[in-house]
Amino acid sequence: MLNSLYISNIVLIEKLNLGFGKGLNIMTGETGAGKSILLDALSLALGARSDTGLIRSGCDSASVTAEFDFINNKTKEILNENGIEFDDNLILRRTLSNDGKSRAWVNDVPVSAKVLKQIGDEVIEIHGQFENHSLLDATTHITSLDEYAKLNYTEFNDVLSKTRNAFNDLHQSEKRLKELTELLEKSENERDFLEHNVSELRNLNPQIGEEEELATARAKMMDAEKNAGILNDALDVLKNNGNSLDEQICSVAHILERIKTDPNPYSETIDKLYDAASTVAEISEQIHPENTNIDDIDSIEERLFAIRAAARKHRCSADELSTKLAEMETQLNAIDNSDAELKKCKSEVEKHSKIFTEYANVLSDLRKRASEQLRNQILSELPDLKLGSADFMVDIQKSEPTINGTDSVVFMIKTNPGTPFAPLHKIASGGELSRFMLALRVALNNPNDKKTIVFDELDTGISGATASAVGERLNKLAQNEQLLVITHSAQVAGFADKHFKISKHSDSNSTITNVDEIIGDDRLNEIARIISGEKITPESIASAKLLIKH
């Protein structure tokens, strides 16, 4: 429910703080007093397109704040989606600057105009000459009809729930079938590729950790081969092209022994030479180049390089090759068993499709019954609202399966005999449309739907009994909904739970629109003014007393 509306610097309104109540809130005033300004300001707070022309002359900016003391479930969903905290109150605020910039807040959280409008459409529905919400959108008609059916048929909610569950089951089974079909088509095209790679990996038979073991063994063998070369170089030096170093040292000793001096002065040197020759001979015996088997290192390298090449080919590590093999074997197995799996999935789709169709047909029958009841109820309302020539029907056509069944629902109307039915949004605008929407709202009245409804232009072209009929229906609708109604009709005004008078005051410097709640004699005089005009007469006062219902 709209609890209050604060307006600052909007056209002729300087400052205005209105507190609305439950039930029927009526606004009256002379032509040109500024009733449309209130709707413009409220629409701005609800996310309507901004227009700098709304800013009061001489001001830099304007603002509107609408506060609600009830939040319905759909609004809560939008608030949660946008990370906006809430309790039982909802505050929508909009500012507009002369430079064309507009800013919006919901519960003091900055939001886009789009989010503001999403929320605004959920909390208030406006029916007027230029603004028509909710029920004029054909996409909402199936929901409206379903809400009506829930109130009139106890089994409807159960059937709707079962239909939605059946649709979800059908959707999931169709999704699984599609995924399997796509996988099998892709796999079938890759069968040769899979078979070749599976055969290749099976023959290779890579083991986890094998790459590391092969690389370590290869490194050791390569080191051994290098060491053997080094040792051979050392032996070549010791042998000195065939003559071993120990033999050469001995030859030197033999030569020194031939010196004729006695005692031989080189006897110690000769002994050292023989010792050195013996040591060199021992060293030569101890140096044994390693015998590296070239065939062994070749086989190790061949195996190592084959494993690494396979890993590169399959874009994985060597240790993951066995897992890759298992995956490709599974794909091949799926292809081999595809007929059975495909048959199973198709059977699931058929089963869920049959269940869904059965529930959807029952749901459709209930909707058709509800639509006839709704039609009769609305037709009974129309004559008193000066719409006796109009006709209404609910067009239910088969459509593609959705979570709501297989029905497409559109509210249709014709305003004159002999003309074809047309969708609701194509009806003539103004009071005729507003009165029809009133009849529709009365018929669809849901005690659980706590939305504020605004009616404008309701009394265009009507008076007397028709105006009284409009007032009675507004009063009936206001038992469950909060209504804001702008009217020129004394009969309608007489049903008000709260009555606001819109007036305009001018001086040499400015013109200001005021809105005041009126009670007692002030209210009596306002209704009398509507009846007789500027000059209030005793007769109009007497008539006003008869019209006031609250």
Cis omega (within 30 of 0) on the bond before 420? Answer: no
Of 56-70, 80-94, 126-140, least confident by mean pLDDT is 126-140
175: exposed, middle or buried (Cβ count in 10 Å: 0-12, 13-18, 19+): exposed
Q: What is the pLDDT of residue 245?
A: 67
Has residue 255 got a pLDDT over 80? no
Mind listing the domains of the chain with CATH numbers?
A: 1-132+430-436+446-517 (3.40.50.300), 160-367 (no CATH)
Q: What is the pLDDT of residue 429?
A: 59
* Selection from 474, 451, 470 nearest residue 462 by Cα: 470
Report percent pLDDT > 70 for the chain. Answer: 89
* pTM for the predicted model, two decimal places: 0.68
In the block, which residue shows the tokens 């050392």? 234
Predicted confidence band of residue 231 (pLDDT cuts 50, 70, 90): low
Q: In what order do the strands lie in the sheet with 482-486?
A: 124-127, 452-455, 482-486, 24-29, 498-506, 511-517
Indicate the Cα dihedral angle 255, 261, 263, 268, nearest 10°. Answer: -30
Rounded Cα distance between 390 and 414, Å, is: 6
Q: What is the pLDDT of residue 377?
A: 93
In this structure, what are the phi and psi dihedrals at residue 117, rounded to the nearest 5 degrees? Answer: -70, -40
- Segment 268-316, tens digit of pLDDT: 877 787 787 788 777 777 766 655 555 577 888 888 888 888 888 888 8
- Segment 133-178, tens digit of pLDDT: 567 788 889 999 999 999 889 999 999 999 999 999 999 999 989 9
